Amino acid sequence: MAGLTLARTDGGRRHAVARSLARHRSPAVPRRARQLAVCAVSTVAVTLPAGILGAASAQAAVSARHELASGWTALTLQNGWTNSPFGTSAAAAHTISGIVHLKGAIATTGSNPVPFTLPTAFRPAQAVFVPVDLCNATNGRLQIEPTGAVTAQAEGGAFSNAACFTSLDGVSFAKSATSFTPLTMQNGWFNSPFGTSAPAVRTISGIVHLKGAIATSGTNPVPFTLPAGFRPVSVVFVQVDLCTATNGRLQIEPTGVITVEAEGGAFGNAACFTSLDGVSFAP
């Protein structure tokens, strides 16, 4: 309130000075003098106490932050899930060039694994599985259906890790295959297990994005080779989700050859299911 009072008082003084100048100004006062008088009034207007200037700067900073976050849509949690454990931000979604990004973190004291349903604008055309970080840095994933229903799953079925803490930061996936280039499978690998989409690749603003999922009944860990336009200059390693929410990775060579590797050497988890959704890298 003190800042508001000072602003009103100073404003009143500014108008009083202007009126005084107007009453006492002679018609013969030169134009240059009148300009100096206006400058004097302007000086009164801008010479404000530091506290007022600080408050104005703070308000401007808050406005800038709000503007920065304006593209995000808050997600409505359900089934007892709550936002922002451990000082994190609230759950939200944003689409950039066809890629849906999530942010924030959630938790629950209950046992229902469905924390929210994505609004229509953020729903994938087919089922998506993306890795997430859980309590104590354990591994988990989100299963996202075309209906928008999202299920949090923990490696080894340890749902308490998901309930304690599920981070949405870094989660991304392609809504559809629009503008993506299909990938040709090899060595016995096949497309779209568990209702997922076919593997494909696209470059957006210099970043290569993969989508879809794959599986194999064989033992060869090389499912495909990236086309020349999507290959990295140096070797790339990126995390992927495997069967039953176990952890895996893709090793991507400059030749485009991709190898799927499973945590602990358990290749059966990769063969059963390897999700490419959410994979991205700078070539």
Query: DSSP string of the chain?
Result: -HHHHHHHHHHHHHHHHHHHHHHH--TTS-HHHHHHHHHHHHHHHH---HHHHHHHHHHHHHHHHHHHHTT-EE--B-TTEEE-GGG-PPPEEEEETTEEEEE-EEEESS-----EE--GGG--SSBEEEEEEBGGG-EEEEEE-TT-EEEEEEGGG-HHHHHH-EE-TT-EEESS-TTPEE----TTEEE-GGGBPPPEEEEETTEEEEE-EEEESS------B--GGG--SS-EEEEEEEGGG-EEEEEE-TT-BEEEEEGGG-HHHHHH-EE-TT-EE--
Nearest to 242 by CA among 139, 97, 93, 165: 139
- pLDDT value of position 129: 98
Quick one: tokens of 184? 């040709």
- pLDDT value of position 69: 58
Strand-pairing partners, residue 228, are none
Q: In which residue ranges of the chain is pLDDT below 50?
A: 1-68
CB count in 10 Å sphere of residue 277: 28
The model's pTM is 0.76
DSSP 3-state assignment of 144? strand
